[in-house]
Structures are given as C-alpha cells and as structure tokens.
Amino acid sequence: MRVLLVEDDIALANGMLLALRAQGFTVNHVALGQQALNTIRSQDCDAVVLDLGLPDIDGLDVLKITRQKNSRLPVLVLTARDGVDDRIRGLDIGADDYLVKPFAMPELFARLRVIERRLGTASSHLINLHGVTLDSTGHQAFFNDEALTLSRREYMVLKMLMESAGRIKTREQLEASLYAWGEEVASNALEVHISNLRKKLPKDFIKTIRGVGYSVSPP
C-alpha cells in the first residue's frame, strides 16, 4: 500500500518513514498541505496519514478539500489536538481514523493494516491460496506450512498479488507500490523479484499475462 505521510516535523517524519517502510509500506513524505493536495490530485497514493498542524494550510482544510475531490481515499489524521471537539470535527469532515500524539508506532501500524485490508480483498490478516498462506500481521508467508525466506520487496509483491487474486496487477502498479519517490529502479528489478518468488512457490502460482502484468488465481 502506498502511504502519503503529511508531517512538517522532519525528525518525526524521518522516524516514521523508516518504521513504516520496515513494515512493508511504500511511503512518500511531504511537509506542506499544498504538496499533499497536489499528490492526492495525481492519485499517487492509496492512503494518507495527515498531520493537522501544517505551516501553510490547516490539516482540516486539507481534509475538507480532499473529501470534495475524493470521497474514498482513506485518511488517518495524526495530531496533537486531543480535545473531543477536535476529534469529532475531524471525523465529521471525513477522517477515517484519528490518532493523537504522542502515539505508539505499533498502533499506527495496526490502524493502517485495517485500512489496507479494507482496500484489498482480504477479510482477515491471513490469506490462503493454493497451499500458500500469507500472514500480513507477522509479515510472513508459508508454503505447505513451511516458512518462506523472502526479501522485503518479494514479500510486498506476493502480498499485492495474493490480495488481488483473480485480478491482474500491471507492472506499473507493482513498481509504484514497491518504490518511493526518488528511488532508483533497475529496469528488470520487478522481473527479478518475480523470478525469485517463483523459485519458492508452487509451479504456476504466479501467472504472467504477457504485455500486461501478473496475477494469482483465485481460490
């Protein structure tokens, strides 16, 4: 899942970037409300973690404009404003969730996983397909009950394909979810990840749709 982090506290943002990426999220960061709106308009994210205390535009105004343009984009509000009235206002404007600073990172991870499950096809943190089990909470995958050794990006590719079982994921969609802004992407990087996965998974588990992308068969 591609997360847009909107946070003007650079030290906090850098810590969150490292922690969220370690959890398998692809995260891009902006520090200004206008930058956030530009990114949201370009549809370059699947969910937003939005601080309210921004230097140029109040975060609630960013939320309000976002809801006028995109009613479905999940927005998790992150703020030091802990008053009940502030929380109610944010939720009424259209926030999907509300987390008050200071917060525990595992709680943020858990709330983003709820959003991720809602966006995907999985109704729980376990997905079972053709002898392969993916545990999105433990960030592990198993084949015939044996744990698979996967790199972070191999796991992310497998997760995206299994959550979209029966649907084709294009090369562009997969690469956009794997790499943040500014990261150098080798021309054959995705193919390398797919090739490595195929060596560890059942034969024909990942299907190539020539000229389009990749898919995993539904149950």
In this prediction, residue 20 carries a pLDDT of 93
Are the C-beta atoms of residues 118 and 136 closer than 8 Å to each other?
no
In this prediction, residue 122 carries a pLDDT of 46
In this prediction, residue 198 carries a pLDDT of 96
Domain with residue 54: its CATH number is 3.40.50.2300
CA–CA dist 114, 186 (Å, integer):
32
The overall average pLDDT reported for the chain is 89
Chain-centre distance for alpha carbon 28? 10
155 and 76 in a single domain? The answer is no
Q: Which domain range does residue 130 map to?
A: 126-216
34 and 101 in a single domain? The answer is yes
111 and 142 in a single domain? The answer is no
157 and 198 in a single domain? The answer is yes
In this prediction, residue 183 carries a pLDDT of 76
103 and 134 in a single domain? The answer is no
108 and 199 in a single domain? The answer is no
Residue ranges of the chain with per-residue pLDDT less than 70: 120-124
Q: Which residue type does 118 have?
A: R
Using one digit for the tens of pLDDT, what is the confidence trace for 119-155? 764 445 788 899 999 988 788 999 988 999 999 899 9
CA–CA dist 198, 206 (Å, integer):
7
67 and 88 in a single domain? The answer is yes
